[in-house]
């Protein structure tokens, strides 16, 4: 067996690929039960400090692993994830199944109220696909409650079910959001990979600050059925993983149409999606024209995140050199007003338009999610069937901390104190088109006019420009802030915990962005960059885990 030459005799779960895990499983050096036990121990070792995982169901995971181990012993493999433990964000519906049962796992999008009294009748499509490919579901990762669509003062990465998520590379560090726990879990090797969702930055930012790869697909590439929504126009199911190759494996499993359960998937321009693992070519950047976008002021995250701009720029410039080494032809792309206006970029992004369609979409989408819930036999009286019941519970349940963190968004859709446009109406559609066109043009115009194959930028710009038009983003580690970086905390609003948003060693990511359905190209570019740069392994978490593969295998020389 030939494992990566960068490892010693026994690799670590912090830096091992899914392919290498499969090699170990095939060789008999470990089995899936071993992996479940190791990952469960690692979660227990750090979770009191980081709150990355809301809950696990280890007995069911062990039972599933044993079934998968027996199948492997008889030469029967379900798919590329056979026996591989995975975590999913708390907004993915999970159900008990006959062979890989998880009866104790709740689905709450971080909310105690949504998770209580009822259970999903059907599992999220992407979770079912992971199971069909052989994955073992370990549990649910923490997230910003309702993916940030709850109240104005809810901290990034906080939920009533999971508490405050912290990043693993700097003590007290933000994990960003809303897929906070998924980014931390993937980065620290608490599972082989984790699922997240993104509406506007919720995979891309946790990937950047978690020192992992994040793939935010084109809206419609992966089904959202069974996922607690924000807006169907922007929501997408993505992956957080230790490498581009791992992310490609999971995306390949999840991508595809979903009949009448998510009509956005019907927009896919093919009968079957590409095999994204075939994009893993170290020469993918040779001769390709890559546009470079940079914004001096930063956008979308506040000035506290941008205090170390010089250090971020230093990392970005080093990443550009790595791209050149990989064979890319880099083309500068002026941003401000498409070269016609020197005004600030955010002046071109119609902020108000977002609420005009997001609130109606959230109201409609959440109501549709309730339709997939059935009362819990243990406490059917707590079942949530409508917005009013949810809001009443959030106000009365002290662990939801409504007075501290607010409920403005949920109150708006439940009480309708402000006029909401019909989600399917012309006005909401016009508001979306205006925002999508305004931001998307900063991507589509240079791709077209300068005949570019793709774009690279810092993650804040990728989120600002690619979210509304639903365009894909692949984010790859580009190193950590240097020793001269300032220690910067999030703004103090009197309620939220002050999180470290900048410090020496804080991870940062480089984002590749392209046109809709261009994941094959972006994955190839990201893989080629990753092979040259190898930045992820330059950083080590501040928190230590004792459980690892060396506990189960003494050496690999004989394998």
Instruction: Round to the nearest angstrom and report the end-to-end CA distance of the chain.
Output: 5
Query: How far, in Å, CA of 536 to CA of 555, rounded?
Result: 25
For the question of residue 32 being annotated catalytic, the response is: no
Query: How far, in Å, CA of 85 to CA of 25, rounded?
Result: 12
- The answer to whether the CB of 298 falls within 8 A of the CB of 462 is no
Radius of gyration of the chain (CA): 22
Q: Which two tokens stand for residue 524?
A: 């190839």
The residue from 17, 116, 159, 178 that is catalytic is 178
In degrees to the nearest 10, what's the CA dihedral of 30, 32, 36, 41?
A: 0
Map tokens 């020496």 to a residue.
Answer: 504
- The answer to whether the CB of 151 falls within 8 A of the CB of 406 is yes
For the question of residue 309 being annotated catalytic, the response is: no
- The answer to whether the CB of 86 falls within 8 A of the CB of 127 is no
Dihedrals φ, ψ of 313, to 5°?
-65, -35
Query: How far, in Å, CA of 482 to CA of 474, rounded?
Result: 24
Query: Angle 549-157-504 (CA atoms, 0-180°, nearest 5)?
Result: 70
Query: How far, in Å, CA of 440 to CA of 349, rounded?
Result: 10
The residue from 202, 243, 436, 490 that is catalytic is 202
Query: How far, in Å, CA of 473 to CA of 207, rounded?
Result: 11
Q: Which class for 543: exposed (0-12), middle (13-18), buried (19 or more C-beta within 10 A)?
A: middle
Name the residue among 346, 526, 534 with its Cα closest to residue 454: 526
Query: Angle 14-20-24 (CA atoms, 0-180°, nearest 5)?
Result: 105
Distances (CA, A) of 11 to 8, 65, 185, 186, 380: 6, 21, 18, 16, 47
Query: How far, in Å, CA of 552 to CA of 371, rounded?
Result: 45
Name the residue among 471, 443, 437, 436 with its Cα closest to residue 457: 443
The residue from 89, 129, 216, 363 that is catalytic is 89
Beta strands in 51-153 (DSSP E): 53-56, 85-89, 118-120, 136-141
Map tokens 């891309």 to a residue.
Answer: 204
For the question of residue 202 being annotated catalytic, the response is: yes
**Ramachandran sector of residue 327 (left: φ over 0; alpha: ψ -120 to 50; beta: rest):** left
Query: How far, in Å, CA of 511 to CA of 455, rounded?
Result: 8
Could you tell me what percentage of the chain is helix, strand and coil, using 3-state DSSP and rounding each to the nearest 5?
40, 15, 45
Active site residues: 89, 178, 202
């Amino acid at each position: 067996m030939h494992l990566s030459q960068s490892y010693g005799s026994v690799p670590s779960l912090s830096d091992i690929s899914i392919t290498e895990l499969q090699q170990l499983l095939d060789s008999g050096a470990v089995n899936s039960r071993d992996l479940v036990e190791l990952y469960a121990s690692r979660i227990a070792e750090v979770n009191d400090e980081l709150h990355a995982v809301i809950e696990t169901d280890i007995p069911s995971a062990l039972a599933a692993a044993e079934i998968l181990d027996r199948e492997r012993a008889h030469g029967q493999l379900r798919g590329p994830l056979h026996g591989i433990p995975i975590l999913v964000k708390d907004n993915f519906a999970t159900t008990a199944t006959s062979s890989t049962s998880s009866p104790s796992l709740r689905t709450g999008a971080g909310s105690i109220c949504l998770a209580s009294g009822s259970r999903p009748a059907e599992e999220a499509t992407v979770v079912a696909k992971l199971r069909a490919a052989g994955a073992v579901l370990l549990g649910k990762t923490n997230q910003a409650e309702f993916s940030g669509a709850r109240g104005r003062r809810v901290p990034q990465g906080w939920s009533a079910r999971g508490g405050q998520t912290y990043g693993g590379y700097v003590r007290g560090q933000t994990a960003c959001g809303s897929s906070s726990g998924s980014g931390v879990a993937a980065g620290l090797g608490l599972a082989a990979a984790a699922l997240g969702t993104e509406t506007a930055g919720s995979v891309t930012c946790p990937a950047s600050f978690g020192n992992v790869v994040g793939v935010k697909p084109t809206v419609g590439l992966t089904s959202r059925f069974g996922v607690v929504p924000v807006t169907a126009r922007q929501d997408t199911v993505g992956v957080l993983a230790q490498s581009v190759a791992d992310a490609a494996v999971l995306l390949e499993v999840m991508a595809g149409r979903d009949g009448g359960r998510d009509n956005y998937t019907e927009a896919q321009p093919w009968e079957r999606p590409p095999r994204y693992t075939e994009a893993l070519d170290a020469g993918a950047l040779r001769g390709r024209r890559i546009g470079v976008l940079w914004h001096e002021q930063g956008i979308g995250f506040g000035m506290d995140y941008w205090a170390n701009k010089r250090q971020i720029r230093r990392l970005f410039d080093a990443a550009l050199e790595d791209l050149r080494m990989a064979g890319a032809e880099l083309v500068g792309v002026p941003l401000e007003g498409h070269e016609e206006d020197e005004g600030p970029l955010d002046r071109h992004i119609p902020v108000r338009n977002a609420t005009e369609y997001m609130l109606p979409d959230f109201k409609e989408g959440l109501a549709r999610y309730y339709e997939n819930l059935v009362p819990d036999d243990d406490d059917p009286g707590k079942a949530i069937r409508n917005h009013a019941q949810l809001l009443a519970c959030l106000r009365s349940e002290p662990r939801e901390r409504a007075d501290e963190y607010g409920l403005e968004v949920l109150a708006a859709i439940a009480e309708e104190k402000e006029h909401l446009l019909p989600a399917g109406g012309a006005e909401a559609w016009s508001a979306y088109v205006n925002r999508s066109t305004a931001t998307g043009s900063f991507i589509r115009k240079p791709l077209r006019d300068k005949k570019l194959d793709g774009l690279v930028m810092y993650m804040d710009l990728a989120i600002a420009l690619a979210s509304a038009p639903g365009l894909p983003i692949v984010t790859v580690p580009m190193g950590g802030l240097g020793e001269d970086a300032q220690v910067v905390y999030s703004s103090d609003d009197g309620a939220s915990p002050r999180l470290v948003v900048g410090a020496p060693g804080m991870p940062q990511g480089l984002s590749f962005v392209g046109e809709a359905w261009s994941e094959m190209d972006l994955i190839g570019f990201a893989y080629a960059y990753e092979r040259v740069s190898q930045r992820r392994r330059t950083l080590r978490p501040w928190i230590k885990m004792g459980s690892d593969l060396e506990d189960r295998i003494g050496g690999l020389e004989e394998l």
